[in-house]
Structure 1
Amino acid sequence: MNNLSTDEIVRYSKVILMAFISLFGILVMFSNFTDYASNYEYVGHVLSMDTSLKNPNIRYRAITSPMLHHRIYWLIITLEALYTSFCLVGTYQLYRKIKQSAADFHEAKKYAIIGLLIAIFIYYFCLQVIGVEWFDMDNSEAWNAKDWARHIVDFIFPLMIYIALKIEQ
């Protein structure tokens, strides 16, 4: 451990943390492909708003078409695959440039940052903004992923800041 400088440890930590979020993406995709039915059921209930408090003033927002449920779910799966792919490539690029100059290492961050931005779009904008604020997901006792999504964003957003910072030399 004494052979590594602080700058090297910072670089390795960025690679390792990107590997963590990449593994998370792989596990989420695996779950979506191997347990499509239960994850589809979740999307269907949120979009249908059939388990929320049934506020009549917002019922017009419900999407009850199973065809649209499938399409929206596949859009989510596609975005998850995209963010995971970018994060994996970003992890590889960071690792590949770990011994290079600070400028080269910093330039290698672009795929990681793009992947993290897509992940924030999914877990913050899609789930928290659209799911909670538009489809009233937080008022469903059975199909509420607000806290789950918030915990993911609570990891991803600071990670994106940490990755983007040019602190290594």
Structure 2
Amino acid sequence: MNSLTTAKTIRISKILLMAYISFFGLLVMYSNFTDYATNYEYVGHVLSMDTAYNSEKTNYRAITSPILHHRIYWLIITLEVTYTVYCLMGTYHLYRKLNASAKEFHEAKKFSIIGLMIGLFIYYVCLQVIGVEWFNMDKSQAWNAKDWARHIVDFTLPLLMYVALRIER
């Protein structure tokens, strides 16, 4: 009988955590596709900087073209779909290699790592860096996702480090 060891528990925890972040990605995708208008409105307000306190020194940064709003929103959706697909593939590959050698299990992490890096790009670079620092998203009372994005980064970055570490035997 195959007993549950600490090493196997670590492998299972990596698979489950990847499943959790994949589930989050699926919910985000569902929201984007079923409530496009609300999410588009959010993107439009952030890019237009119309609800953020701005000085004349920063107004030049605003993107007010609805066509560009749609294109940027579709870029974000595409990145979120890509991130979710890679995380799902990563979860599947880790699960397939649950009982494999340490080397094989470690090599199965590549899709998970790619997915998590794309997720960090979306929620850290796009929302926290560009959204907050360039478009002053944090200055808006109504259209500010800085804290929401930070919570995702606070989960994703440690998960990336944990999954990437070669600690299982």
> What TM-score do the two structures reach when normalised by structure 1?
0.98
1:142 equivalent in structure 2: 142
Which aligned pairs between 1:95-114 and structure 2 lie closer than 5 A?
95-114=95-114
* % identical equivalent positions: 70
Worse-matched range after superposition: 65-74 or 2-11: 2-11
Separation in 2, partners of 1:3, 1:46: 53
- Which stretches in structure 1 are left out of the alignment for 5+ residues? none
Structure 1 partner of 2:6: 6
Q: Which runs of 4+ in 1 moved over 4 A?
A: none
Aligned residue type for 2:47: L
Query: Could you tell me which residue of structure 1 aligns to residue 70 of structure 2?
Result: 70
Q: Please state how far the C-alpha of 1:3 moved relative to its aligned partner.
A: 2.7
Number of positions where the alignment pairs a residue of Structure 1 with one of Structure 2: 168
CA RMSD in angstroms comes to 0.8
> Residue 167 of structure 2 aligns to a residue in which SS?
coil
Distance in 2 (CA, whole Å) between partners of 1:102 and 1:92 is 16
Once the two structures are superposed, residues 115-166 of structure 1 have per-residue CA deviations (whole angstroms, 9 ceiling, x without a partner) of: 0000000000000000000000000000000000000000000000000000
Deviations 1:52-104 (A, max 9, x none): 00221100000000000000000000000000000000000000000000000
Letter in 2 for 1:122: I
Match of 1:86 in 2: 86
Task: Give the structure-2-normalised TM-score.
Answer: 0.98
In the alignment, what sits opposite 1:21? 21
Counterpart code for 1:106: H
